[in-house]
Amino acid sequence: MRDMKQSHLFTKTRKEAPADEQARNAELLIRGGFIHKEMAGVYAFLPLGFRVIEKIKNIIREEMNAVGGQEVYMTTLQPRDIWEKTDRWDDSKVDNWFKTKLKSGEELGVGLTHEEPIVDALSEYVSSYRDLPISIYQIQNKFRNELRAKSGILRGREFIMKDMYSFARTEEEHLKIYEEVAQAYHRVYKRLGIGHITYRTHADGGIFTKKFSHEFQTLSGVGEDTIYLDEEKNIAVNKEIYTDENLAKLGLDKEKLVERRSIEVGNIFPLESKYTDALNVYYTDENGEKKSIISGCYGIGVSRTMGVLAEIFSDDNGLIWPESVAPFQVHLLVLGEDDTIRAEAEKLYTELTEKGIEVLFDDRPDVSAGEKFADADLIGIPYRVVASKRSIADGGYEVKKRTEENGKIVALDELLNLLKANG
């Protein structure tokens, strides 16, 4: 489905935000027909939203493959035993499991993360130093039984997530992978259009490690997080580790830090050998000695990222998708019911789609120009191209970027060049 006629698209836009929705990202995405709210924190992705999700996934996938990641697809249903080995089964230890039961009465988990099953599967394949290092990733739904869920797709009970897990022989090898993945993350955010406002942020390493973990934080007024940012050095620290001691460790000068609101768009985490040891997966080194495997995990919330983009790239009229993840590149509008004009627009639609340009064609009859313009602004496709009696009389089509105030009339050739140059 590279192209689509809007008369055929089953979703419609809405003027009003749903009453039960407080988050701007969900309001806009529901109004545009990108997502459907199944219940609080649980959203389905409709055709426009599905396309955005797939584009975000593909950018992440390309960058994970570029650092040697191997993609797998794990199961949602989780057996109790592997989680007991790491002491993450009991609800008193991990308080946001969804659990279910087999007919035999045996309790199962509904996958909230996948360190345990990935490490457990590895035990069948890894035994020697020759088998390492390895990086494995997955892009799929995760489930967290949150008490409240009010942030739209920024924090869901069911959400789409990329998680990579790395397994190395030594601390040195681990750090090399860790830094490569961090660089891959910067490339992902750059391609998503938020590279310039996304900072690697030092954060607490939690119970696993004395080292810092790292978040990737995108500046945003609606962010739940507070970071302290050194704009010169391009790094930040999370509020929870904002102490004189930590700043000294990191060589940061308190005077130069500015406080900012931000949203976490990714995190990378040294796991030391916590899970591999607990699940009894070791390797034998060149000298026949049994050694611990050093691992790391690397997450990016795919659906959350879509929500972040909706929060950041939007104005009073609607969404403003970056070209890399827009559901279509061009929103072609035909105005009026004139048969000649409609035929011209149909021809242009065919021409663009044959050139591999992704077009949403607003071919709806009996819909006013004003409504079509409002929908185009709400849906937020990068280029709006209008075919009307006036544009044809003026020698072509009116093209306007979603980020621009005014369009201009261009002939077909010029339009094709413009879209090609930006495609």
- The closest of 191, 159, 174, 175 to 60, measured between CA atoms, is 191
Q: Tokens representing 204?
A: 């607490």
Q: Which CB atom, from 62 or from 259, has the smaller least distance to its own copies?
A: 62
To the nearest whole angstrom, how small is the minimum distance from the Cβ of residue 282 to its own copies? Answer: 16
Place of tokens 């000695």: 289
CB of 310 to its own copies, least distance (A): 17
Is the CA virtual torsion 76, 81, 86, 90 positive or negative? positive
Q: What phi and psi, each to the nearest 5 degrees, are found at residue 364?
A: -65, 125
Min dist. Cβ of residue 104 to its own copies (A): 8
In this structure, the chain runs to a length of 423
Pick between residue 65 and residue 209 the one whose CB is nearest to its own copies. 65
Of 42 and 222, which has the nearer Cβ to its own copies?
A: 42
CB of residue 309 vs its own copies: minimum separation in angstroms?
17
Nearer to its own copies, 5 or 274 (CB): 5
Instruction: Provide, rounded to whole angstroms, the least separation between the CB of residue 223 and its own copies.
Output: 25
Q: What is the 3-state secondary structure (H, E, C) of 174-239?
A: HHHHHHHHHHHHHHHHHHCCCHHHEEEEEECCCCCCCCCEEEEEEECCCCCEEEEEECCCCEEEEH
Amino acid, single-letter form, for residue 111:
G
Distance of CA 337 to the CA centre of its chain: 40
Closer of 62 and 315 to its own copies (Cβ) = 62
Nearer to its own copies, 39 or 258 (CB): 39
- The residue among 306 and 341 lying less far from its own copies, judged by its C-beta, is 306
Pair 369, 397: CB distance under 8 Å: no
Q: State the distance between the two ends of the chain, measured CA to CA, in whole angstroms.
A: 17
Give me the residues that bind its own copies (CB under 8 A), please. Answer: 1, 4, 8-12, 33, 36, 38-39, 42-47, 49-50, 53, 65, 68, 70-79, 98-103, 108, 110, 117, 121-122, 124-126, 131, 134, 136, 141, 143, 145-147, 157-158
Q: How far is the CB of 227 from its own copies (least distance, A)?
A: 30
Closest distance of CB 371 from its own copies, Å: 15
Answer yes or no: are the C-beta atoms of 138 and 302 closer than 8 Å. Answer: no
CA distances from 112 to 40, 58, 115, 159 (A): 17, 22, 10, 10
